[in-house]
Chains A and B, each alone.
Chain A
Amino acid sequence: MAQSATHQTSTSNGQAKTATFRVFRGDAQGGQVQDYQVPVESGMVVLDAMHYIQGFQSPDLAVRWNCKAAKCGSCSAEVNGKPSLMCKTRLDHLDLSQPIMVQPLKTFPLIRDLVTDVSWNYEVNKTIQPFTPPDENAKDWRYFQNDVDRPQEFRKCIECFLCQDVCHVLRNHNQKDQFYGPRWMIRLASLEMHPMDRADRIPFIKEKAGIGLCNITKCCTEVCPEEIRITDNAIIPLKERVVDRYYDPMMWFLRKLGFIR
């Protein structure tokens, strides 16, 4: 995309319309918010404003972005305190009479300005047993659309980590050593519910991934830009599987054989 809006629009009385962006500037050593005046055009998103600041005021403002179309999950930040994708947050939907606060994700260590260190997530992913098919060389697999509607929902995840940012187990209690967080719960669910997968991750989900720590507040589901129903469709069913396994082995057995889902 072009580097955002470069021309000022005029209101009916000829005055350029501007908005104030209160952007966090700083690094791990500390920092402060700084105000920027940005000309506003219809249809602009917060990321356009950040690009305007880079292009005309502070070329060193650190921001991550790639697709500008809510597809890559790079531009996560907290806009007016709400974890959001900057490329999807329209200025028309914000109260421009007040300064707009733009801050980095709080749950992850700060690198600089709006960029945080999300590497923990990549480390967690490595510990999850990957897709395990019956036979890697088999040709012409058959399975049906309704077998995969659910895993496909989870596979829409763009790894924006907004759910990880908002989950209080990670955000307020910093229990990253005990709980994998919603992003990895849906990854686990997408594998567990894949019709061709043969691995058993239930003990892992209980012990290592710490599913017990989730108390179903659904904050994660609320912020997911992909509208994945993380809690209802992934976490609760996984919790049920854990319960079946540890308290009702018969149910687990029937599920494994495919009699119930």
Chain B
Amino acid sequence: MSVTYETHTHDVLVIGAGGAGLRAAIEVSAQGLSVGLVCKSLLGKAHTVMAEGGAAAALGNVDPQDGWQTHFKDTMKGGKFMNNWRMAELHAKQAPDRINELQQWGAVFDRTKDGKISQRAFGGHTYKRLAHVGDRTGLEMIRTLQDKGVHSGIDVYMECTVSQLLKDGDGRVNGAFGYWRESGRFVVFNAKAVILATGGTGKAWKITSNSWEYTGDGQTLAYDAGADLLDMEFIQFHPTGMVWPPGVRGILVTEGVRGEGGILRNKDGKRFMFDYLPPETKHTFAETEEECERWVKATLANEQTDARRPPELSTRDNVAKAIYYEVQAGRGSPHGGVFLDISYQDADRIKRKLPSMYHQFKELADVDITKQPMEVGPTMHYTMGGIRVNPETQMTAVPGLFAAGECAAGLHGANRLGGNSLSDLVVFGRLAGLGAVEFAKSVEGTPKADEAQVKAAAQELLAPFERTGEGPYEVHRDLQEVMQHKVGIMRTEEDLQKALVELDAIEQRVAKVSVEGSIQFNPGWHLAQDLKNMIVVSKAVAKCALERRESRGGHTRVDFPNYDEKLANVNALIRKGEDGSMQYRTEATPEMPPELKKLFEEEKK
């Protein structure tokens, strides 16, 4: 078979055009190198567009006591100290500059009374820290980056899927192979460095807030190229997804609702979150409904208060588990969730602060959130685990390959705080850009793709057309069932063992999937490709979840409900072995330097 394809050559190739990819590409361009930016959807439609609540940065505009140290501590505590401390430090220190920079590029954040960027409360953040625009912060960010990007000389390849990374004889990444979704034609990108910014992997689960794009592509591309995947067991189940009607099940209800004072109640009207606060953080939350009320009042008036925040603002892992237990105990709402109520507040303010939630419920569920409570329940939302990177440069274990945003790991540890992702994208997107520029400058000559690799990649892509058998949608449904029920929010040894066996069987089926129709814009064919990635990531999650015999953050083992001190300082790593099998190993978490450790000791005094 002779393969025809088009070729594009850049110094740096960025795969993924969400916040992380765009910010990286802007940086590469600003440093004077040529950059190509590839994405599976149209430009501006990446997940970042859906982010609602806000971006965390210790600007101190509303709570002047805030500073990077508190943000750092909150992030480490939220992540149960599984985070890479250096990433958490860089993030906390640099996020304010990145938010200011967005403003200087045209982002219009909501304002405080004295004209500064407004900030709202979110789970796990000690202070009001989330820069926001109503409940469409992600849209504001991606549009700002997109508009900045199109005037920065970036070449954008949209609706183009990368299916394989290419390497040179020395094991360095030197490009990528992919196809245009529209025509099915092949394309080869030559590059001196490649940045992965492909986002998460939620489509492996049945109930998820994620779109069709989240199929673990970056993680799989990196894994196949020889990089490490870190702590894959840490999956975030967001506590509040819609539970009804069935067609919208899983769609996100922003944590902004709780940030604005939304109250969680069970079917008996009980405000149950008071009962689920972990002992170590209990003292930082309000003790009574009356104290909550004072906090809400001050928040609405944009004033300081000595009242502590409501228990609904505990971290996501706690809230999601609390809801799960309430439903299990038979105290759930009619459609298997619990109630989230903001209707006690002024209707106009709700519509102004949470406009898209208002419309989402009104139009999709016939619920007026200014008059009635919402019904909510957990939904698969975010992958804390992902590609291991060097915290300073964002380079992976493979020379020339970088990663940033949700597909990379390290910042969030065992549980991500809401709002820390949007700031993650701009902080580490920029650092990945700088890292890739530095690397690309050290590469001599022009990169050139190896014909044999290209040919193999093309053959693999077209194979489903030559097979007859099961279609990709059936296999995908079965994969989602396994992950939802056996590698979900509550896990057991038995389920995980079974899941691994079933995933092996599904992997066999994925290898035989057949598709019909032409190669022109064919979603069935696209899914057949995506399935190959979802199965890799699913196996990695199940394997790590089986090995971590304790409960920590987003990972809950019913059979090992407590922290295990032996695992407190252990990261999980997945790598592809020489024989193609999935290898698991552990490594001690990097030790925090004394000056950062001191921050936690001071607190205890």
Residue pair A60, B211 in contact (C-beta under 8 Å): no
Question: Which residues does chain A contribute within 8 Å of B209, judged by CB atoms?
Answer: 1
B370-378, B498-506, B518-526 - interface stretch:
B518-526
In the complex, which of the residues A54, A117, A197 has the most CB atoms of chain B within 10 Å of its own CB atom?
A: A54
By the criterion CB–CB under 8 Å, are B471 and A125 in contact? no
Contact B182 A88 (CB under 8 A): no
Cβ-based interface call for A64 (8 A): yes
Q: Are A194 and B108 CB-contacts (below 8 A) given A54-B524, A55-B477, A67-B211?
A: yes
Residue from B103, B116, B364, B527 in contact with A43 in the complex, judged by beta carbons closer than 8 Å: B364
Most buried by A among B46, B140, B249, B523: B523
Which of A11-19, A137-145, A233-241 makes up part of the contact surface? A137-145
User: Is B580 close to A, CB under 8 A?
Assistant: no
Contact A71 B523 (CB under 8 A): no
The residue among B106, B206, B209 with the most chain A CB atoms within 10 A of its own CB is: B106
In the complex, the answer to whether A130 meets B106 with C-beta atoms within 8 Å is: yes
Q: Which residues from B are CB-within-8-Å of A224?
A: none
Chain A residues within 8 Å of B211, by CB: 1, 65-68, 72
Q: In the complex, are the beta carbons of B106 and A44 less than 8 A apart?
A: no
B344 near A: Cβ within 8 Å?
no
Contact between chains at B147 and A155 (CB < 8 Å) = no
CB distance from B272 to the nearest CB of A (A): 27
- Kindly state whether residue B586 has any CB partner on chain A within 8 Å: no
Asked if A74 CB lies within 8 Å of chain B CBs, one says yes
Residue from B148, B207, B252, B472 within 8 A of A59 (CB atoms):
B472
* Interface: B363 (CB within 8 A): yes
Asked if A148 CB lies within 8 Å of chain B CBs, one says yes
Q: Which residues of A contact B249 (CB under 8 A)?
A: 1-2
Q: 1/0 per position for A26-57, CB-CB distance to B under 8 A? A: 01000000000000011111001000001110
Determine whether A5 belongs to the interface, using a CB cutoff of 8 Å to chain B: yes
Chain A 173-202 residues near chain B, CB threshold 8 A: 191, 194, 197
Contact partner of B111 (CB less than 8 A), chosen from A3, A63, A131, A143, is: A143
Distance in Å: Cβ of A110 to nearest Cβ of chain B? 10
Q: Number of residue pairs across A and B with beta carbons under 8 Å?
A: 185
User: Cβ of A59 and Cβ of B473 under 8 Å apart?
Assistant: yes
Q: How far is the CB of A44 from chain B (nearest CB, A)?
A: 5
Q: What sequence of 0s and 1s flags, for each residue 97-136 of chain A, a beta carbon within 8 Å of any chain B beta carbon? A: 0000000000000011101011000100110001101001
Interface string of B328-358 (1 = CB under 8 A from A): 0000000000000000000000000001100
B238-260 contacts to A, CB under 8 A, are 244-252
Given contacts A70-B363, A151-B108, contact A43 B212 (CB under 8 A): no
Q: Are A60's CB and B208's CB within 8 A?
A: no
B42 close to chain A: CB less than 8 A: yes
B43 interface neighbour in A6, A66, A68, A122, Cβ under 8 Å: A122
Kindly state whether residue B104 has any CB partner on chain A within 8 Å: yes
Asked, given contacts A59-B472, A59-B515, A156-B139, whether A1 binds B150 with beta carbons under 8 Å apart, the answer is no
Contact A48/B247 with A59-B523, A90-B364, A122-B43 known, Cβ cut-off 8 Å: yes
Within 8 Å by CB of A4, from B43, B247, B252, lies: B247
Given A60-B522, A144-B115, CB of A2 within 8 Å of CB of B245: no
Most buried by A among B115, B207, B521: B521
Known interface pairs A54-B524, A158-B139. Does A64 touch B114 (Cβ–Cβ under 8 Å)?
A: no
Question: Nearest chain A CB to B39's CB is how many angstroms away?
Answer: 11
Q: A142–B115 contact, CB under 8 A?
A: yes
Partner of A145, one of B43, B111, B518: B111
Q: With an 8 A cutoff between CB atoms, is B143 at the interface?
A: yes
Query: Which single member of A2, A41, A60 contacts B524 (CB below 8 Å)?
Result: A60
With the chains together, A169 CA to B43 CA distance in Å?
Answer: 25
Q: A-facing mask of B416-429, CB < 8 A → 1, else 0?
A: 00000000000000
Contacts of A117 in B (CB 8 A): 182
Q: Do B251 and A68 have beta carbons less than 8 Å apart?
A: yes
- Using A54-B523, A131-B105 as known contacts, say yes or no to A2 and B45 having CB atoms under 8 A apart: no
New A-B contacts (14) at CB < 8 Å, excluding given A68-B211, A138-B104: A2-B250, A27-B520, A41-B245, A45-B248, A59-B522, A59-B524, A62-B520, A71-B356, A74-B41, A112-B520, A142-B115, A144-B111, A155-B108, A158-B49
5 contacts between A and B (CB under 8 A): A44-B246, A44-B247, A65-B211, A74-B42, A158-B139
Q: Lowest 6 CB-CB distances: which A-B pairs, in order?
A: A43-B245, A59-B524, A131-B106, A60-B517, A142-B115, A62-B521
